[in-house]
Structure 1
Amino acid sequence: MRQRKDSAAHRASHLPVSNETSAGGIVVRVDEGHAFVACIGRRNRAGRLEWCLPKGHIEAGETPEDAAIREVAEETGIDADIIQPIGVIDYWFTGDDRRVHKVVHHYLLEFKGGDITTENDPDHEAEVAEWIPVSDLRQRLAYPNERKMAQVAIALLSPEQ
């Protein structure tokens, strides 16, 4: 088994490397004194639904802020304005044919309008979109780095805590 792991690591280390930059964030809507965040559900490689924050690649000529607003709109149907940056996630993963170094710019955004839906997601990556109570984000978000971004947003929204 050890040899198998070593050969997989060896193979991955010889794959070409690509760099990707994305942007997205945490869109907050307050309803009757309760805060909710727009999240999307995507299927992972194993076919399990995982909840995550809306985000996507920065297109040519876009700023990270522009991309965050566009990606949120595409993946959730929500119109939002940026309140402030909340952090950058930097990580590596291995695809079928390459290793990817990914940087994701996250923003805290304020809900302006729209109905939550995945209908306009051009890549059809988001299977479902839902308003999740802020208090449930730590349990619902699939990735630890996104849970950390949620913690930053919660701290900004509740400075007295």
Structure 2
Amino acid sequence: MMEEVSAGGVVIFGNTILLLKKFNGDWVLPKGRVEKDETLKETALREVLEESGVKAEAVKYIGMVHYKYKNLKENEMVYKTVHWYLMKTNSMDCTPQKKEGFVDAVFVHIDKAKNLVRYQDEKNIIIKGLKML
């Protein structure tokens, strides 16, 4: 089984959270793979910037999530760990990264964001992160 480690952010601006919309219509939090010689926090901040154009600052570590998925190209199961950080930004300017597969990047009201995100583990991370504010 392959292993993959990623990091991402729950980015807060006022009472809104940054969400990205994928080409297939799913709303997700920004995240991506850890690169060589990068800390988890550096990865999370870089991925937020790359995927949304948002410059954020990491405030607290929220926690990690584990799940398995099938890599169809390699026909192999992947055991993935995602580390999440609570982040703040002072600007709502964002640009979705089309080449990463995102059609929209928006700050959504906290209450609405919890219902919009596609995956239960991301909902849980949002709820956990908000309790840390």
Match of 1:110?
88
Is 1:124 equivalent to 2:124 in the alignment? no
Asked if the contact 2:13/2:91 (under 8 Å) is kept, the reply is: no
Q: Which amino acid in structure 2 is aligned with residue 153 of structure 1?
A: G
1:140 maps to what in 2? Answer: 116
2:17 aligned residue = 37
C-alpha distance in 1, partners of 2:36/2:51? 19
Match of 2:10 in 1: 26
Give the counterpart letter for 2:9 in structure 1. G
Find runs of 4+ consecutive structure 1 residues off by over 3 angstroms.
Answer: none
**Letter aligned with residue 108 of structure 2:** I
Sequence identity (%) = 28
TM-score for both structures, normalised by structure 2: 0.92
Q: Any unmatched runs of 5+ in structure 2?
A: none
Question: Which structure would you say has the larger RCO, counting Cα contacts within 8 Å and 6 or more residues apart?
Answer: 2
| Conserved? CA contact 2:66–2:79, under 8 Å | yes
Aligned to 1:83: 59
For each residue in 1:59-116, what CA deviation from the matched residue of structure 2 results, as whole angstroms up to 9, or x when unmatched? Answer: 1110000000000001111001100000101110112121111000000001044621
Secondary structure of residue in 1 paired with 2:32: strand
Q: Which residue of 2 aligns with 1:5?
A: none
Q: TM-score with structure 1 length normalisation?
A: 0.77
Other structure's SS at 2:35 match: coil
Structure 2 residue aligned with 1:68: 44
Distance of 2:112 and 2:6 partners within structure 1: 25
- Partner secondary structure for residue 44 of structure 2: helix
Q: Please give the root-mean-square deviation of Cα atoms over the aligned residues, in Å.
A: 1.4
C-alpha separation in 1, matches of 2:51 and 2:118? 17
Tell me how far apart the structure 2 counterparts of residues 132 and 114 of structure 1 sit (CA, whole Å): 10
The residue aligned with 2:77 is: 99
Q: How many residues align?
A: 131
